[in-house]
């Protein structure tokens, strides 16, 4: 049976729209109805402006009728993680601190999506300020995994992954500081791409850790990820870390790049703590690439053992500085009845931030404080260089690395109450952010209990076209992406 409309890929929908067998307005109504039917259980949305989305859909239909369709995203509803600014829409970062904040401007990715004809709709749940791996740190309550509503969708972009997997939207954007696009993509059975640091503008992204944050797409297929990346990537004068890279036609490149590739298997990524079903699925993916004629080579990333410590020093240090702006005066929550200015800061922040955010601000302030700076922050920066060098050295021998995305499939809501247990979810993803590399997660099977498993491909800087082609090759030969949760 053909997939329901709301489970179709951007490419399939684009063909229907182009053939005038479907209008953007009909498509928008379909996803709005789907959201109404299932989001009471999935809880992926923090808010949505349906009237605005239908107005954008009508405008898209008018453009198409006038022969002015803007490309492959024309008329496609795209949902955004609630940390990405859309002018006139709420931006909460799933925090009480920003519960009533409305963005005065569009993020650059939002501008780019609109320019490409996409319908920007829906504010998707996440961990507060993107800090977490389960979306349980949201001030608005957790999102459920559409494959098993008693389980987490991963995080921090859990709403972006769950909304997509549940058919509530056709593609989404998330942000990835230590795995927040790839890990929820893996746990919800969709594709998630974290671009090279600097490829996609961070302007208009609520900052968590600025040297690690990247925005990227979550999609049903690799080809859709190529289309989305093509729309959002590119230099932006508003972001001083944005790189002047040539943006290829990623979709067209998928066909041109056929391999065979040299793939590295980092031995440190297959150690203790890896769920056996996840390990077995990844082994099968390795066997697939070998059968395709790829060279498979074991490699070593010897500083992997320091990734977690390094990340939680650098990320918290940057977070403590970035989140200083929420002072109760310029934006966000303002406490009532403060005695004086200092009391106003303290009370507003005490009331506005949740426990995980406070933990990170305290940790980050500590590692930056005089007397500890050299011992922690400076040392972490040096180790970060060593971690990056591990990857670059491996790339002398191989084109990309292949690993599990997450050591475990979706766990139960409430199961991991210890912060450290949650931090361990990211052991295979954070090295990529520390090294600034692109990486993609795509579905590679299911556990015996029917939970999705993700395969991670880690590429070379600004070589997203190769990364997407490698993933596409795997996807073309498997049908995991055609399976959907029954809700
Ligand atoms: N889970 C990691 C953290 O809590 C990564 C989050 C992210 O990528 N935004 O920091």
User: Confidence class of residue 331 from pLDDT cuts 50, 70 and 90?
Assistant: confident
Q: Is the pLDDT of residue 272 over 90?
A: no
Structure tokens at 59: 């405008």
What distances in angstroms separate CA 407 from CA 20, 42, 44, 156, 334, one per listed residue? 44, 24, 23, 16, 40
With vertex at residue 133, the alpha carbon angle to CA 269 and CA 184, rounded to the nearest 5 degrees, is 75
Q: Which residue has the tokens 């491996």?
A: 394
- List the domain boundaries for the chain: 2-264+397-482
Instruction: Assess contact for 119 and 60: CB atoms under 8 A.
Output: yes
- What pLDDT sits at residue 420? 86
Q: Over the stretch 35-49, which tens digit does the pLDDT of each residue have?
A: 999 999 999 999 999
**How far does residue 416's CA lie from ligand 1's centre (Å)?**
15
Q: Is the pLDDT of residue 1 over 70?
A: no
Q: What is the mean pLDDT of the segment spanning 354-365?
A: 98
Q: Which residue has the tokens 């790189």?
A: 243
Beta strands 119-124 and 400-404: pairing type? Answer: unpaired
81 part of the active site: yes
Gap between the terminal Cα atoms of the chain: 17
**How far does residue 309's CA lie from ligand 1's centre (Å)?**
13
43 part of the active site: no
User: Confidence class of residue 14 from pLDDT cuts 50, 70 and 90?
Assistant: very high
Q: Is 131 in the pocket of ligand 1 (CB under 6 A)?
A: yes
Question: Which DSSP letter does residue 213 get?
Answer: -
From edge to edge, which strands make up the β-sheet containing 295-299?
45-47, 119-124, 77-81, 171-176, 214-219, 191-194, 439-446, 452-458, 400-404, 262-266, 295-299
Strand partners, 171: 78
Q: Is 178 in the pocket of ligand 1 (CB under 6 A)?
A: yes
Query: d(Cα 103, Cα 327) in Å, to the nearest integer?
Result: 17
What DSSP line would sit under 341-372, residue for residue?
HHHHHHHHHHHHS-HHHHHHHHHHHHHHSTTT
Q: Over the stretch 403-418, which tens digit does the pLDDT of each residue have?
A: 999 999 999 999 998 8
Query: d(Cα 44, Cα 97) in Å, to the nearest integer?
Result: 20
Q: Over the stretch 200-217, which tens digit does the pLDDT of each residue have?
A: 999 999 999 999 999 999
The overall average pLDDT reported for the chain is: 97
- What pLDDT sits at residue 140? 97
Nearest Cα to 106, choosing from 228, 275, 211, 236? 236
Pick the CATH number of 2-264+397-482 from 3.40.50.720, 3.10.50.40, 1.10.10.10, 3.90.1300.10: 3.90.1300.10
Q: Is 364 in the pocket of ligand 1 (CB under 6 A)?
A: no
Q: Over the stretch 103-155, which tens digit does the pLDDT of each residue have?
A: 999 999 999 999 999 999 999 999 999 999 999 999 999 999 999 999 999 99
Query: pTM for the whole thing?
Result: 0.98
Structure tokens at 72: 């492959």
Q: Is 387 in the pocket of ligand 1 (CB under 6 A)?
A: no
What distances in angstroms separate CA 360 from CA 134, 296, 330, one per listed residue? 16, 39, 22
Structure tokens at 284: 């099968």
- What pLDDT sits at residue 258? 86
180 part of the active site: yes
């Amino acid at each position: 049976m053909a997939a329901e409309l709301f489970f179709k890929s951007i490419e399939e929908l684009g063909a229907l729209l182009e053939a005038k067998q479907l209008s953007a307005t009909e498509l928008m109504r379909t996803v709005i109805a789907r959201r109404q039917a299932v989001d009471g259980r999935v809880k992926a949305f923090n808010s949505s402006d349906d009237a605005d989305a239908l107005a954008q859909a009508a405008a898209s239909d008018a453009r198409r009728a006038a022969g002015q369709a803007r490309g492959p995203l024309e008329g496609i509803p795209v949902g955004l993680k609630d940390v990405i600014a859309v002018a006139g829409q709420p931006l909460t970062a799933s925090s009480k601190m920003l519960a009533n904040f409305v963005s005065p401007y569009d993020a650059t990715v939002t501008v780019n999506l609109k320019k490409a004809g996409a319908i920007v709709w829906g504010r998707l749940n996440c961990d507060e300020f993107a800090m977490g791996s389960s979306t349980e740190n949201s001030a608005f309550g957790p999102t459920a995994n559409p494959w098993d509503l008693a389980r987490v969708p991963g995080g921090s972009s859990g709403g972006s992954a769950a909304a997509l997997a549940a058919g509530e939207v056709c593609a989404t954007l998330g942000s990835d500081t230590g795995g927040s696009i790839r890990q929820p993509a893996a746990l919800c059975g969709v594709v998630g791409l974290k671009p090279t640091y600097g490829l996609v503008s961070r302007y208009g992204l609520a900052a968590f850790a600025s040297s690690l944050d990247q925005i990227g797409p979550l999609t049903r297929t690799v080809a859709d990820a190529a289309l989305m990346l093509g729309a959002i990537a590119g230099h932006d004068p508003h972001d001083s870390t944005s790189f002047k890279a040539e943006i290829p036609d990623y979709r067209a490149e998928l066909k041109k790049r056929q391999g065979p590739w040299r793939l590295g298997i980092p031995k440190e990524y297959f150690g203790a703590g890896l769920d056996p079903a996840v390990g077995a699925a990844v082994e099968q993916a390795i066997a697939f690439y070998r059968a395709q004629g790829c060279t498979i080579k074991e490699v070593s990333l010897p500083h992997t053992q320091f990734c977690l410590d390094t990340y939680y020093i650098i990320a918290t240090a940057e977070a403590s500085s970035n989140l200083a702006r929420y002072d109760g005066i310029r934006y966000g929550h303002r406490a009532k009845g403060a005695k004086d200015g200092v009391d106003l800061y303290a009370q507003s922040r005490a009331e506005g931030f949740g426990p995980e955010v406070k933990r990170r601000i305290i940790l980050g302030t500590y590692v930056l404080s005089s007397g500890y700076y050299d011992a922690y922050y400076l040392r972490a920066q040096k180790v970060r260089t060593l971690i990056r060098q591990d990857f670059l050295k491996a790339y002398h021998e191989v084109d990309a690395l292949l690993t599990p995305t997450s050591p475990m499939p979706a766990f139960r809501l409430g199961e991991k109450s210890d912060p450290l247990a949650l931090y361990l979810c990211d052991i295979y993803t954070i090295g990529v952010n520390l090294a600034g590399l692109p990486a993609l997660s795509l579905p590679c099977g299911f556990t015996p209990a029917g939970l999705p498993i993700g395969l991670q491909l880690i590429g070379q800087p600004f070589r997203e076209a190769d990364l997407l082609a490698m993933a596409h090759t795997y996807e073309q030969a498997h049908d995991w992406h055609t399976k959907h949760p029954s809700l």
